[in-house]
Amino acid sequence: MTNDPPGSEKAFQWLLAGAVCAILLLSSACQKAPGTARDQLIYISEEKEIALGLAAFREVLKSAPLSRDPEVTLMVNRVGQRIAKAAQKPEYVWEFAVIQDDDQVNAFALPGGKVAVFTGILKYTKTEGGLATVMAHEVAHALQRHGAERYSRGILEQIGQLGALAGAAAGGVDPGLAIGAMSAYGVGVALPNSRDQETEADFIGLQLMAKAGYDPREAVPFWERMSGCPRKMIGKFCFRSQNAIPEFLSTHPSDVTRINQIEAWIPQALKFYHPETLPPESPESPTKKPMSGPVSKS
């Protein structure tokens, strides 16, 4: 005869243990995001985060085909370094790479100031102002430590999922309810958190590009180009495939939500915009200088 508690009691103990672990993590890792005061959960040191970002970036550069276009590479580095200077984060060793992939409309940031731009997004940036919109957004992700935040939330999610599955295995929790609870957590917490990070990167990025000497008003036409629609037609007569996904089930804000928010923030960002402070090697306005890159296939 075993002394194990009955299934319902064992399930409760598993869930209680998970809750205790979660509370301990939360109590030691809560902080405020710089620039927005949003509540953040970060359970990893910045030093470790930087080391992880560097290792991941090195792995990416080993396998990714880098652009051989010197003009594009120079432009991405020039824009990136100006934005990095505006970020005032000298402990980060900022690096910028251009990955040759015309089909990949994307860019990403890794912890510690490692940023990569895929050539596929250049047909949408069009100008240095458009490129600054993208790169300032990615630099903001690094500044706000969004990677560390996702890493930390992943730890809590694993604790919660293990507790739910253990409860189901012990017979005290209906498996369907356990899976449903985990799915609800993803929609109710994890996805909104990811959207919060995207919104925060838009907000901070708008100010960064302005401080770097790029007109923040360039962000609106860039996101219109990314949507594939004129502003007033987004979601009405003009659709992208992503628009079929309801916003509450998406990790990113909808095109309309994002553009509306950016337009509301532009007056604040313009207070930081001083184009006359641009370095002398760029006599042309960055928002007017055309950008070379892959020609759209459309």
pLDDT means per 10 residues, the chain with 298 residues, are 48 45 49 72 80 90 94 97 94 95 92 94 95 96 84 59 46 46 44 77 96 96 84 58 53 82 96 74 41 36
Instruction: Indicate the pTM of the whole model.
Output: 0.70
Per-residue model confidence (pLDDT) at position 236? 56
**Residue burial 102-122, b: 16+ Cβ < 10 Å; e: rest:** beeeebebbbbbbbbbbbbbb
CA angle 157-159-164, nearest 5°?
95
Residue 236, φ and ψ in degrees, nearest 5? -110, -75
C-alpha torsion 147→149→155→161, nearest 10: -100
How far apart, in whole angstroms, are the C-alpha atoms of residue 25 and residue 141? 23
Per-residue model confidence (pLDDT) at position 29? 56
How far apart, in whole angstroms, are the C-alpha atoms of residue 5 and residue 202? 51
Residue 82, φ and ψ in degrees, nearest 5? -65, -45
Per-residue model confidence (pLDDT) at position 32? 75
Largest interatomic CA distance in the chain: 85
Per-residue model confidence (pLDDT) at position 223? 92
Does residue 251 contact residue 192 with C-beta atoms inside 8 Å? no
Active site residues: 138
Per-residue model confidence (pLDDT) at position 132? 97
Per-residue model confidence (pLDDT) at position 296? 33
Per-residue model confidence (pLDDT) at position 197? 85
Per-residue model confidence (pLDDT) at position 276? 65
Burial of 4 (0-12, 13-18, 19+ CB in 10 A): exposed
Per-residue model confidence (pLDDT) at position 247? 58
3-state helix, strand, coil in the chain (%, to 5): 60, 10, 30
How far apart, in whole angstroms, are the C-alpha atoms of residue 20 and residue 25? 9
